[in-house]
Structure 1
């Protein structure tokens, strides 16, 4: 296998219609070539690898059997969609994955007609596919909707809410459960594959329907007994009782890497007259690439790597620690002397640093799966019983539990600690994973304390501060990636709630920073000082409660005040403007400017370019100050003319 694999069959397939021209006997070779191309592409770009390799055969089979794009294919999460992109007219751009102006790492409606529904958060596929299926039914269109959902995504309640509502779609809805982690049914083998083909076939379904009609005419006890016998027989053979109770006809488990098993079952389901169907497919992450099979966790998401050896190019190593590791290790250390501390994550132990805590305190670490709503209310229950729970969730995922944050935590004023990872822009993962809104949606809530760490040392202090804060909910945010290189404290200190710090003292311009834009604010201050503008830089630390005393002092003694934050409108800037308005300072001619993320969803790109686009780097801070001063001078001159 090389970086440029030989792919004679794949070269003939630009779109799925070309795939359907191949003979069934050619599909094995085609899938092998598709896998080689996927590995080659991701070795150049980095990205999600293991999940995509696990669905190569499934992707091939779906597009071969179903009439995509008329039949709507919805991938849950979408991180496994690279083979799908190659197969649907995007092979010529596949080596632009996750780069500025290139292909998204997830499905995206604006990118292709073969991506009918955008995804990057889990457990949405069945709901969306149900919408497509019902729309086709109401408009008397023949198209089906196929949802491919992983076993991890099935841990979220939304999937079951959709399934409970799926009967109305009839046979237009097909759900494929891609089980690549835990087994929820008997092992895969020749017998199970045979049974899957049998019970999904038209003769069996027709015979079963006849039996149903006959049994309905029997006396009630016999009718009930016949129904239970049918369910018991198929349950004994294949499992799936839960899905049957939700109204789905269950087929499986079948080997998701065996095209001879997959194709007949998909064809049977495509042509069946039954209602909604769930096909249980068992796959293996990283299938067909030895390094990914051996370490599926390390090859879930990868940087550039050598195809032959599998070695990932992680750079020279060393350097500042990752923010999530600082959090996890600090929390683990604090828990050594406080047995009330517990940690909760929603299927992201390594991504949030909770894995570090779990290694030291396994009985006090809880991974609840992809169930953010449950995670928050579970933490609320722990807090109500006297524990000190840390709920570690990505900013973009915490949005899914906002109702629980409001009702189960804030209204009851329970001391749940929210460790908000991936706050701000996230580079190649793009808008779906950017933590843009947490400052705004949390700082509006009564009882909530909201902090933002400027560097890794501040994160350690905030973790400790949160651990000791028992009077209500508290949140602290920190970004993706590595710290700034400041020394970590031997012993974290407890921060005074609602108090910021002045990092640099000046007289003319005040820059109020929240979070990790502090380094850029200090660079901007250097430039402004060189221009003769004495500049104060304050790290406010808290957006709620604000350090009103510090802000009032800076407003009273400086000509221009600029707020800088890596968050959306409604955050720090809005709170400072509200304070200034309440104090009547806006009537005194004070120049206040707010710098924040733009009012749009920023596309994936290099982080530095994203910050430039957002206008949150040092040159833009300087430009904002200079424009404010020029405007001020113009206003004074105009007043003089009018006088």
Structure 2
């Protein structure tokens, strides 16, 4: 039997595909998904049945995520791709690495976790990302982008050294391919010439629409006609020519290369030493299977370019995949979450303040690393398109690019998640802080972060920020403070970091509108006769205030002081503030070993007789839960703090 693959006819798959020649019809009383408990179960299904299974999986994911929240559009787009991979390869013997891991829901469903899927992203439930602790089919925990090719290549080489059989498949999105780490790994993989299989899941998106030359290049490959047929016909022709000695063989190989260069267009991947297959329709299971069977037999690195539609099967996410990338619970019928808050989020407060300052200062520019929507820069982009820059998933470049803008005399603001700032520490130190350039870092999702689990916690950045000379670090509690701090940062002649959580701003009152004094904070609650004090900062000051209010109901007076500045810290002033108190509690939703609390505790030890207690995140990786649950887990919620009081 001949099998047509992307206008190409290949031979030799008769035994593997014969059972799919007569697809069976689905019984109206039969659920294919309920019959799948491990990847091997799908190998007995026909292509027609696999297509019906894909429909069921989309409905199942949509129903679950509408109740739990999660990554929707990316998973709806990767259903057929996942089924085809598990149909051809044998997980976990064949290692499948997902990049970014938020496209792994179908993988979880067919690897024995269907019955627990309702616990997705809930405390104690399934993670929204691959997690080796959950299943041997989750090879690598991939919460950050662009890592799969590097880790996959290392895994493949390691297995070869240890003589462990099996393929290694890296499934990487076109957005993740813009990351420098992915390009570095491509370069090395092409050099080593190992049979690494890279599946390029191309949906023209990361979270926001992709930007840059790499994105354009991949799009150009997608729209060009497939050259695989011509290439293979040439290969077949060359193989039919008898070889008469080394000289003839070299001549044949030169002829082969020459003809190929004339007939088809070389591309980045082939220049790096990869076989290139595609583009392939990522929603045609039969075509995907046929291509995967072919590349499975190769003994060289290969890139399979798969075109998918992000959000496929749900009209709201198809029309607006960015909004349905990561969602909370929502109505399937309307697509609306139905939730709102009277208080603005810190992200929206930052967005509004940045636009306000940019209206009167044309030197202000904004930079994001593929997180335009998440960081609140969409409105800035619409208002000032010439001053907005999305650099792709390239945090290192974002910071060094910002340093260049600052050298030119502009005022760059880099909006970045705390967990992704970790990837650009050297650029922060070497390119921004060392020369003392006036770059503003707006660090979103700082502190304990709900939903995404251990790979997305913003509790580590402060440890590295505090150690960097010439750097100021501030943290607002309200939208008014956000506005003041951003204005202060934009007028500074040195780098400034403004950290804020994924949370709503506190309500404004007289204390929070007090002017900024460098290195100093403010009392946000002061009774005049309390002998207990809570020191906190940022959005978490809400829990500190609640704890003091609960304590007062029990007859215990307690004041609350908000630091505002985490660096520099006016220790002499803070010592004077703390002098009247007999008991001081320092509370911060940050890693205990890297927070500001340990500094304060050591500095105050010689200036006060008060008992000082530090409450922060213990030395472990926080798991997925709501922000409220995470705070309670580490004794940082109001009920826990009042016990310390």
**Which range, TM-score by smaller chain?**
0.7 to 0.9
1:269 aligns with 2:269: no
1:69 aligns with 2:92: yes
1:536 Cα deviation after fit: 2.5
Q: How does 1:51-70 map to 2 (within 5 A)?
A: 51-70=74-93
**Conserved? CA contact 2:235–2:256, under 8 Å:** no
State the Cα deviation string for residues 474-513 of structure 1 (Å, max 9, x = none).
1011111322343799x99862321211222344112211
Corresponding residue number in structure 2 for 1:571: 595
Q: How does 1:297-316 map to 2 (within 5 A)?
A: 297-307=322-332, 309-315=333-339
**Conserved? CA contact 2:230–2:264, under 8 Å:** no
- Taking structure 1 as the reference length, the TM-score comes to 0.88
Q: Structure 2 vs 1, CA of residues 413 and 272 (structure 1 numbering), >3 Å: closer, same or farther?
A: same
Q: Structure 2 vs 1, CA of residues 26 and 423 (structure 1 numbering), >3 Å: closer, same or farther?
A: same
Corresponding residue number in structure 1 for 2:500: 478
Corresponding residue number in structure 2 for 1:501: 522
Distance in 2, matches of 1:135 and 1:367, equals 36
Residue of 253, 275, 287 corresponding to 1:249: 275
Residue of 199, 203, 227 corresponding to 2:257: 227
1:575 Cα deviation after fit: 1.8
Distance in 1, matches of 2:369 and 2:579, equals 45
Per mean C-alpha deviation after superposition, the further-off stretch among 203-212 and 248-257 is 203-212
SS at match of 1:250: strand
Q: Structure 2 vs 1, CA of residues 467 and 185 (structure 1 numbering), >3 Å: closer, same or farther?
A: closer
1:327 aligns with 2:350: yes
**Conserved? CA contact 2:243–2:249, under 8 Å:** no
**Conserved? CA contact 2:532–2:559, under 8 Å:** yes
Question: Any gaps of 5 or more consecutive residues in structure 1?
Answer: 626-643
Per mean C-alpha deviation after superposition, the further-off stretch among 359-368 and 563-572 is 563-572
Residue of 171, 178, 181 corresponding to 1:155: 178
- Taking structure 2 as the reference length, the TM-score comes to 0.88
SS at match of 1:120: coil
1:208 Cα deviation after fit: 6.3
**Conserved? CA contact 1:540–1:547, under 8 Å:** no
Corresponding residue number in structure 2 for 1:400: 423
Distance in 2, matches of 1:125 and 1:432, equals 15
**Conserved? CA contact 2:503–2:539, under 8 Å:** no
Per mean C-alpha deviation after superposition, the further-off stretch among 570-579 and 298-307 is 298-307
SS at match of 1:172: coil
How many pairs does the alignment contain?
604
1:428 Cα deviation after fit: 1.3
Per mean C-alpha deviation after superposition, the further-off stretch among 522-531 and 84-93 is 522-531
Residue of 283, 286, 293 corresponding to 2:318: 293
**Conserved? CA contact 2:350–2:482, under 8 Å:** yes
Q: Structure 2 vs 1, CA of residues 130 and 488 (structure 1 numbering), >3 Å: closer, same or farther?
A: farther
1:606 Cα deviation after fit: 2.2
Q: How does 1:504-543 map to 2 (within 5 A)?
A: 504-505=525-526, 506=528, 507-543=530-566
1:414 Cα deviation after fit: 1.0
1:27 Cα deviation after fit: 2.2
Distance in 2, matches of 1:161 and 1:206, equals 33
1:473 Cα deviation after fit: 0.8
Residue of 43, 46, 60 corresponding to 2:69: 46
SS at match of 1:517: helix
Corresponding residue number in structure 2 for 1:17: 40
Q: Structure 2 vs 1, CA of residues 172 and 36 (structure 1 numbering), >3 Å: closer, same or farther?
A: same
**Conserved? CA contact 1:325–1:356, under 8 Å:** no
**Conserved? CA contact 2:391–2:398, under 8 Å:** yes
Distance in 1, matches of 2:186 and 2:404, equals 28
1:442 aligns with 2:465: yes
1:50 Cα deviation after fit: 0.8
